[in-house]
Amino acid sequence: MASGKSTLGLALLGLYPYHGSIKIDGKELKDYSDYERSQMISYLGHKPQLLSDTLYNNITLGQDQDITAVLADVCFDTDLAAMPDGENTLVGNGGIRLSGGQQARIALARTLLNKNKIIVLDDPFSAIDMKTEEKIIENLKKHYQQSLILLISHRLAIFNQINRIMLLHEDKTVDYGTHEELLKSATLYATIFNLQYAEGAGRIEP
């Protein structure tokens, strides 16, 4: 649905002009320098790129950090245990030696590593199965409570775990509220959620 979800994510990075006001700690977003924004905001686009390097270097990008916890947060610890070279496993050009789901989780780990104040995730779970997605969401809620995480997605099946939801319409109107509130007040949200959720555990009535 072309409703501007990705454009909203780019605006929150200060990479897209916007009208109105976006403030962080009382200061307008556009008044921060590029460096200041990079220290506050982490962003994962829906087409992340991996380097032809090791898992460790793809996640740390030159920093000297322990990646054990973040690998567990993205449910990659089991995958890693099956790799003889562990964190030093080479991913190949563009991550070709990894599955699509593994590539997505390594890119997500890179975005989460520094636990920045704001974390923008644009469709990070499209290549990840729903059970793993649910576990990752659970880990994010448990271990990133000091971060504001903005999840941009058209997959609503796990949105019953999200604190607040903004549903963007093509006509630029917005529905906002909790999952339970939107099930009752937003017909489009309830319809999409029920259709997607029915693929797994069954239908939820508004």
| pLDDT of 203 | 39
Specify the number of domains making up the chain: 2
- 124: nearest Cα among 94, 103, 148: 103
26 and 119 fall within a common domain: yes
- pLDDT class of 202 with cuts at 50, 70, 90: very low
Q: Classify residue 47 by its DSSP letter.
A: S
Q: Which two tokens stand for residue 116?
A: 């920045």
> pLDDT (tens digit, 9 = 90+) per residue, 63-84?
999 999 999 999 999 999 999 9
> pLDDT (tens digit, 9 = 90+) per residue, 82-141?
999 999 999 999 899 999 999 999 999 999 999 999 999 998 998 898 899 999 999 999
Structural domain that includes position 195: 156-206
150 and 161 fall within a common domain: no
* pLDDT over 90 (residue 11): no
| pLDDT of 4 | 66
If you average pLDDT over every residue of the chain, what do you get?
Answer: 89
186 and 150 fall within a common domain: no
66 and 45 fall within a common domain: yes
11 and 83 fall within a common domain: yes
**Dist. CA 164–CA 15, nearest whole Å:** 24
- pLDDT class of 205 with cuts at 50, 70, 90: very low
Tell me which of 137, 155, 173 is where a domain ends: 155
| pLDDT of 2 | 55
> pLDDT (tens digit, 9 = 90+) per residue, 20-53?
888 899 999 989 999 999 999 999 987 889 999 9
- CB 74: neighbour CB atoms within 10 A? 26
Phi and psi at 27, nearest 5°, equal: -115, 135
CATH of the domain at 10: 3.40.50.300
